[in-house]
Structure 1
Amino acid sequence: MTIAARLRISPLRAHGGDEIDLPYAPSPWRLKQCRQTGIVFLANPPAYEELSQDFAYEVTFEKETQARKQAEPLRYAISTALKRFRGRILKRNKSLTLVQRLIRDARGARINVLDVGCGWGSLLDDLFKSLPADLRGKSVPHGIEISQELSRISDGKLRKAGGRCVHASAMDGLDDFDDGYFDVIIMASFLEHDINPLTVLERSAKRLKPGGSILVKVPNYNCFNRYLRGSRWCGFRWPDHVNYFTPETLKATARLAGLDVVRMSILDRSPLSDNMYAILRRMK
């Protein structure tokens, strides 16, 4: 494991500013908050190269799951049961529902969809299975994934639907596509992972067709559960969550990237939820 020798500055500033240390991160990780912009970020994240294997999502997810299960077995069992109930019984998946709406609103003979940080390709797989035949026939799924193993799995799924998965960081993967290519870009549980969230959003904005949209889902650092649980909050993941957004800092990041927030309702940013959602479009 390589720990960054030079500390990272606020992802919303070109130069260092006034920063405070926060008490949540276990050693050797250092969590800071920028006083000027309010954003909370990991100051010494792993290098991109380590996110491909050593700190790949499937590795850290398994470690985090086991740690939470051992530390709070009853809470973990209840939380897991509730998630399964919402997903399997209530069929609730807000990211999926929002993307379905964006695709229905898209125009043109071909609808290109990109999932940044697509993991196993599960969201795209569920999405395309849920679309009516007319939309499924003209929609093409694409993905970007930094984990070597997950990108291999996703690529096999997406190629069957006429798309592909690029094995790369988000910034490098976006360069693999032309400007104005995508109708919908999905960043569901992704932007908290990338050390350059502003640059990623800027490049994503350029890849959007006129009227295209970006769906963002991130942990809500301003939720009641984070204040209640402190360092045990489920939104903390060490070291692969490197940005922690509030509704205000997410809006500020979007604006700096040249994007308007066209949807972030009170339910999308509710302090009762650990996650928040936003739909972004290029500024006119």
Structure 2
Amino acid sequence: MDTLRVKHVVNELEADLAQRAELHPVPNDYAQLTRDFCARVASLLLWGLPAFNQLRLPVAPNYHTMQKTSDLVAHAIVQTASFWNLRMARRVDPVKVFLHAESLSAFISDRMDSYEVYFCDHPEKVEAYGQRYRTLDEILAAKVDVEAMGEPYEIAPLPLSNGRFGCLYCNKSMQDMQILEIHHEAIHQSHGMVACTECTWTSTDEPGNLASHQQRAHDIYEAGHPDAFSTNIDHLCHKPRNKLIKLLVEDFRTRARLRNMQPPPPRVPAAWGLRRVAMEIVGVRSEIMRIPGWRELVNLKRANRVAQQ
């Protein structure tokens, strides 16, 4: 696999492990443990079967038929995450950061599927990155680089946040590549416009426009706002049903992460009306609020994501 794709995987893994470290006490060598983990995954992606053999990790029977980047990434993470958990459990000072191999690999491989459009559209960027960063140590130490990733006023996705797309010019993070393109056009190629980081909404830059839209449409508030992570059914029922479903799925994942469990399948019965979904959100959030460390994770994932205006 080329070094630019590998670097994206490493950045996503580093971000995920850093978030986990904020929820649990970690030893002084956690940064080195993270680097070792990322180095193992990167070596499996760079060198393939010889690296699996050298590290004595099992190989899936269908490994030789895997062609998609996301499949190779998922396989490498599954094998390495299992090794991480075993290694952590054997420590004298056990690290309370255990990885659910399947959910972590699925999340990262989904992100790589999202990035694949950019990689395929810009083979020259992939080649330039490969010429600049050749060794494993260089890949692990490399920062996101303007010269390798994009030229002035060209759109380039930066893996700065876990699961999101960063803007090269202002470091704001977007929900997906389409939103990044609209943001780029509205903010960096036009004047007097504001653009949402969560959807394709744009507007003239009038006071309160962006904040009002994000509160109404996305349930995004500044940390400490009384409506942030609300358990008020009437407040929730003012939002569209499809947004409530997204909030519910996000809350399921938050609860699962706090409990170190795999989240349930992200399905909501079609028969559930607006109020039924809102009631479910209230129930899940009430459970979350009883779990130690919930506020830090919620602020990290949602309230402090408030839009970089």
TM-score interval, normalised by the smaller of the two chains: under 0.3
Scaled by the length of structure 2, the TM-score of the pair is: 0.24
Larger Rg: 2
> Which structure shows the higher strand fraction?
1
Higher relative contact order (CA 8 A, sep 6+): 1
Give the TM-score normalised by structure 1.
0.25
